[in-house]
């Protein structure tokens, strides 16, 4: 069994990105600049945005964090987006999700200039991704593809079962893995909350991407021998024995599933760090696209 080490792989990627930043500077080009908008004070979102800003510093990017209160109106948020769209120094920006309930997420994501949409969530970029045209790939699926590639995991002709159909992970993952590309050419089944006999499907899967958001949902009895397991889940589970009062759990029951897996991502240290590295990669691309 091989651990797909996202922490190590993302560290390698960040070194590569830092080297590119140095080269840009030597050529007298601008420093990549990522901005992030955070609305409200959801603990997990604050942690993720903080990690993204820290990663920018590490690779030599400039970063801007726009921290707005929970009660921010949709109009105010749209104004912030317009201002980032018009700010020539900002190469790319993201709006951390989820947004408070009174804000229309779709409307907000549509307001981002697609050329600065380094999360790849704008319909124009989702369309380009679907047609396999050059664009920003959403960071989590992009990170999973990169991890599979770097570990030479065979995907061609394999049966992938993606559990979850979210716009951020499940849906784009299913599209990318079915495309003619590295870590693609797979036969993909998308399973979701209305799927019948899920275990029958997962037992046939050569590769399982668990992205449903239920802690330790996928157990050893649901996977076949030598399956490749990608765990996208990251849920805070109460645990009084921990300093912070919780532990982080994936969607995979690691102890039972790892006994059967050929490759498996841990939580934490698997998909999560890859997501951040790919966001940096998209920002570098946005900066280079500007010329």
Which residues in this chain contact ligand GUN in the complex, by CB under 6 A? 94-97, 119, 139-140, 168, 275
What are the structure tokens assigned to 15, written together?
Answer: 């070194």
Active-site residue 104, yes or no? no
Q: Which segments are annotated as binding site for NADP(+)? A: 164-166, 234
In the residue annotation, 23 being an active-site residue is answered as no
Residue closer to ligand GUN (CB basis): 46 or 198: 46
Catalytic residue from among 5, 91, 96, 281 = 96
Nearest to 183 by CA among 146, 129, 128: 146
Place of tokens 């993302």: 10
| From 5, 14, 52, 206, the catalytic residue | 52
Q: What's the min distance (Å) between Cβ of 48 and ligand GUN?
A: 7
* Closest distance to ligand GUN from the beta carbon of 287 (Å): 19
For residues 59 and 62, what is the distance between their CA atoms, to the nearest angstrom? 9
Q: Closer to ligand GUN at the Cβ: 14 or 52?
A: 52
For residue 49, the minimal CB distance to ligand GUN (Å) is 8
Residue 52 bears catalytic tag: yes
Q: Which of 281, 286, 288 is nearest to 55 (CA)?
A: 281
Q: Measured from the CB atom, is 137 or 205 closer to ligand GUN?
A: 137
Q: Are 256 and 275 spatial neighbours (Cβ–Cβ below 8 Å)?
A: no
Marked catalytic residue, from 5, 91, 117, 119: 119
Give me the least distance between CB of 96 and ligand GUN, in Å please: 5
Q: Cβ of residue 53: shortest distance to ligand GUN, in angstroms?
A: 13
* 57-62: long-range pairs with CB below 8 Å, 24+: 58/14, 58/18, 59/14, 59/17, 59/18, 59/21, 59/280, 60/18, 60/21, 60/22, 60/25, 60/31, 61/21, 61/31, 61/32, 61/33, 61/34, 61/280, 61/283, 62/31, 62/32, 62/33, 62/34, 62/89
What three-state secondary structure class fits 62? strand
Closest by Cα among 91, 171, 90, 87 to 137: 171
Nearer to ligand GUN, 128 or 159 (CB): 128
Q: CB nearer to ligand GUN: give 94 or 222.
A: 94
Neighbouring C-beta atoms of residue 154, cutoff 10 Å = 13
Residues within the annotated binding site? 164-166, 234
- List active site positions: 52, 96, 119
């Amino acid at each position: 069994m091989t651990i797909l080490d996202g922490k190590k792989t993302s560290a390698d990627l960040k070194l590569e990105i830092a080297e590119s930043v140095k080269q840009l500077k030597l050529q007298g080009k601008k420093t990549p600049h990522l901005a992030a908008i955070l609305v409200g004070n959801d603990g997990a979102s604050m942690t993720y945005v903080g990690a993204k800003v820290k990663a920018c510093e590490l690779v030599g990017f400039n970063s801007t964090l726009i921290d707005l209160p929970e009660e921010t109106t949709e109009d105010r948020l749209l104004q912030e987006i317009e201002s980032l769209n018009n700010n020539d120094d900002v190469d790319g920006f993201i709006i951390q999700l989820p947004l408070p309930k009174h804000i229309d997420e779709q409307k907000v994501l549509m307001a981002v200039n697609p050329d600065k949409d380094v999360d790849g969530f704008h319909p124009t970029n989702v369309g380009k991704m679907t047609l396999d045209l050059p664009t920003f790939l959403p960071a989590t699926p992009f990170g999973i593809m990169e991890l599979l590639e770097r570990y030479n995991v065979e995907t061609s002709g394999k049966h992938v079962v993606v559990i979850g159909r979210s716009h951020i992970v499940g849906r784009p993952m299913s599209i990318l893995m079915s495309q003619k590309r590295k870590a693609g050419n797979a036969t993909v089944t998308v399973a979701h909350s209305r799927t019948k006999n899920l275990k029958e499907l997962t037992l046939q899967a050569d590769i399982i991407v668990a992205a449903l958001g239920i802690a330790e949902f996928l157990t050893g009895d649901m996977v076949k021998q030598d399956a490749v397991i990608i765990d996208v889940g990251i849920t805070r589970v109460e645990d009084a024995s921990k300093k912070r009062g919780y532990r982080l759990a994936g969607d995979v029951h690691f102890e039972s599933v790892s006994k059967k897996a050929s490759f498996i991502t841990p939580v934490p240290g698997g998909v999560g760090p890859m997501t951040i590295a790919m966001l940096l990669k998209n920002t570098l691309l946005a900066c280079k696209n500007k010329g």
